Amino acid sequence: WMPPSKPYYEMQGVYKGSELSSKTLIFSSWEMVPRMLACMISYEAERRTVGKIAKDYQDRGAFYFNTGERRYPSARMNFSVSRGAPSAMTLFCLLYPSEFLTECYNPITCLNEGMSLQEIRKQIRKKINDKLVEKTDTSQELMYGGQDRRWYYVAPLLLDRAEYACNWFKNKDKLLDYDSEEERGRRQKGFKMHLDAYSDLFETESFGNLGKQPIDLIDVLTDMAIASPAICINRTYNYYLGGEELPSYIPSQLARVFINRMNTPESTAVVELACGRKSDDAHWQNLLTYCCQGNLQAVFDEYAHLIASGIECNSNLITQIHQHMIEAMDIRTTQYTVDTFNNFQKRMRNQKEKPTNIRTHFSVAFTKGDEREKDIDRKRTIRNAFNSPFRPFVLATTSIGQEGLDFHNYCRKVVHWNLPSNPIDLEQREGRINRFKCLAIRQNVAQRYGDIQFKRDVWHEIFDKASEIEKTDGSSDLTPYWGLRDSEDMVKIERIVPMYPLSRDVLTYERLIKILSMYRLTLGQARQEELLKYLFHNHDEPEKLRGLFINLSPFYKELE
């Protein structure tokens, strides 16, 4: 996922130093380019992740074009059944939104105190250890046998109020409604068996039969409190309730979709590369570490703020945020059939050929399509997914994406694969990411005002502070949500134009910028770095330039 613009503690691991990252939006006038880019970029992403794992561990059975076979690496977080018994109960560490663990970590307090992840862990460990000692009477020193892994998913039940856990189990069947297509049938049956086993364990209260606690139990529970997906979502949703009680099963529904997303081969490979290789039944602990490194709590909080900002009616706010997140995270992988030299030879010889498909997930194509209901739904899903912190990270589109659509939530880089014929199209393209509370604006206000003392809502308070300082007499209400004072260290929207030697695009670009500057001058929408550079080099009396501007802003107030 994309790193948060305002992390709650310093990013760790592969996320270290990634706060100013951005997704990429690519425009092309040619219909074939988006599909080509989606295929090649996604293939390259797999080569650097899945391919690296296969090479490092010399897994010779790993091939990209395994038609009809299981992809590599295999899913590590399935609710599988072995000899008629559930064998992946530890996945409830990611699914159960423990009330106690949710309350153990207060991001606002820790952020105000400037605590590091190590200091946060130390504080939470003490809370969990004290509570666990209070709840368990059995002396661990007197127990015989090895460590009992059941403690990982039983301990959260012990730490919570019986009433809270009971309500979660009463609604456990509602988690079955959020299976992806790949999880239905036999796998859904396995998940239901795990839910029933977890419920039986709680109802029979057979906790006294547990063996020794794992030596890392407190550490795992601490990481769960900080970054378990169900607990992070629970903490995020609780903010929008306004004092009401959140049904405990709702965070688990989204956490289930999150696990499905992180259970794909490409996500499994990324987590394994970032956190090392463990046994299949311990991959969930790697994912938990990865969630801590990537500030998952801050990711969900920022994303929920963006969704809520776009909702006009505040009624059923949680339901709308919840449904929006589920739809964005439940995007399917699209495959495109590609031609190869071998396939061409077979066609020439009238031989039967198998289609060669390339997957698109890291990058996706956004094209006109057939405009049928399925195609329209797919486009809506792609837009929602690109505007989320999760995949895809590159969106390649034709002119269909340059008008009336917003792609600004997590993108501030726009690539012009080829230049449009007129400056208005160029302006329209870049206007897709230059929007209200766009990524560039959020990264700037986080850098400038992210060190204030927060009370309850990080993003509302950051923007309030920015509004207080950035606005001056005569400023419009567009500040700071659409624009900020310029500075040398300012994060900016990036325009990327590939310039090939001897290409006509060099002259075309110069002409477009020249005309675009005058176009903006006429509309009173000047960008200083382009417009003034042109005018100062082509105007004899720069001091008279102010008289050329036409201010059409409805918020403009002339100083008296």
Q: Residue by residue, what is the 3-state secondary structure of 452-513?
A: CCCCCCHHHHHHHHHHHHHCCCCCCCCCCCCCCCCCCCCCCCEEECCCCCCCCHHHHHHHHH
**pLDDT tier for residue 4 given thresholds of 50, 70 and 90:** very high
Residue 406's closest CA among 426, 378, 436? 436
SS3 category, 553: coil
pLDDT at 47 over 90: yes
Residue bearing the bigger pLDDT, 409 or 503: 409
Above pLDDT 90, what percent of the chain? 50
For the chain, the C-alpha Rg in angstroms (whole number) is 27
Q: Is there a contact between 32 and 399 (Cβ–Cβ < 8 Å)?
A: no
For 82, the 3-state DSSP assignment is strand
* pLDDT mean over 74-95: 90
Contact 13, 290 (CB under 8 A): yes
Angle between helices 117-135 and 151-159 (to 10 degrees): 80
Burial 359-377 (b: 16+ CB within 10 A, else e): bbbbbbbbbeeeeeeeeee
For residues 479 and 178, the model is more confident at 479
Mean pLDDT of 102-124: 95
pLDDT at position 559 is 42
Residue in 452, 459, 412 with CA at minimum distance from that of residue 431: 412
Q: Is the dihedral of CA 242, 248, 253, 256 positive or negative?
A: positive
Q: Which amino acid is at 279?
A: S
Distances (CA, A) of 27 to 30, 37, 260, 400, 520: 9, 11, 31, 10, 21
What phi-psi label fits residue 67: left (phi over 0), alpha (psi between -120 and 50 degrees) or beta? Answer: beta
User: Nearest to residue 194, comparing CAs of 98, 84, 330, 349?
Assistant: 84
What is the percent of the chain where pLDDT is above 70?
86
Q: How far apart are CA 287 and CA 355, in angstroms?
A: 35
C-alpha–C-alpha distance, residues 127 and 131, integer Å: 6
Confidence at residue 476, expressed as pLDDT on a 0 to 100 scale = 76
* Lowest model confidence (mean pLDDT) among 116-120, 133-137, 264-268: 133-137
Residue 512's nearest CA partner among 419, 380, 384 is 419
3-class SS of residue 265: helix
pLDDT of residue 189: 84
Mean of the per-residue pLDDT values of the chain: 85
Best-predicted range by mean pLDDT (28-37, 171-180, 349-358, 532-541): 28-37
Q: Three-state SS for 357?
A: strand
Closest by CA to 165, choosing from 232, 98, 73, is 98
Query: Does residue 21 register a pLDDT over 90?
Result: yes
Q: For the sheet with 23-27, list strands across it.
A: 363-366, 394-397, 23-27, 411-416, 494-496
Cα 523 from Cα 232, distance rounded (Å): 45
Residue 142 has a pLDDT of 47
d(CA 419, CA 28): 8
pLDDT for 154 equals 93
- pLDDT by residue (tens digit) across 468-519? 998 877 677 788 988 888 888 899 999 999 988 888 888 888 888 877 776 6
pLDDT (tens digit per residue) in 287-345: 999 999 999 999 999 999 999 988 876 668 888 999 999 999 988 888 998 888 888 88
CB 324 within 8 A of CB 307: yes
Structure tokens at 301: 């909080």
Report, as an integer, the average pLDDT of 273-295. 89
Q: What is the mean pLDDT of residues 438-450?
A: 94
- Going by C-alpha positions, the residue among 72, 77, 102 that lies closest to residue 91 is 77
CA angle 316, 230, 333 (to 5 degrees): 85
User: What value does the mean pLDDT take over residues 245-257?
Assistant: 90
| pLDDT value for 455 | 92
3-state DSSP helix/strand/coil percent for the chain, to nearest 5?
55, 5, 40
Please compute the mean of the pLDDT values over residues 219-237 and round it to a whole number: 96
Residue 486 main-chain phi, psi, to 5 deg = -75, 150
pLDDT digits (tens, 9 = 90+) for 120-167: 999 999 999 999 988 876 555 545 567 889 999 999 999 998 899 999
The pLDDT, as a whole number, for residue 557 is 45
| Model confidence band, residue 33 (pLDDT cutoffs 50, 70, 90) | very high
Partners of 360 in the beta sheet?
334
pTM of the model: 0.88
Rounded CA-CA distance 2/23 in Å is: 8
Non-local (6+) Cβ contacts of 33 within 8 A are 26, 396, 398, 417
Listed ranges 186-195, 349-358, 366-375, 429-438; the one with the highest mean pLDDT: 429-438
Distance CA 165, CA 374 (A): 40
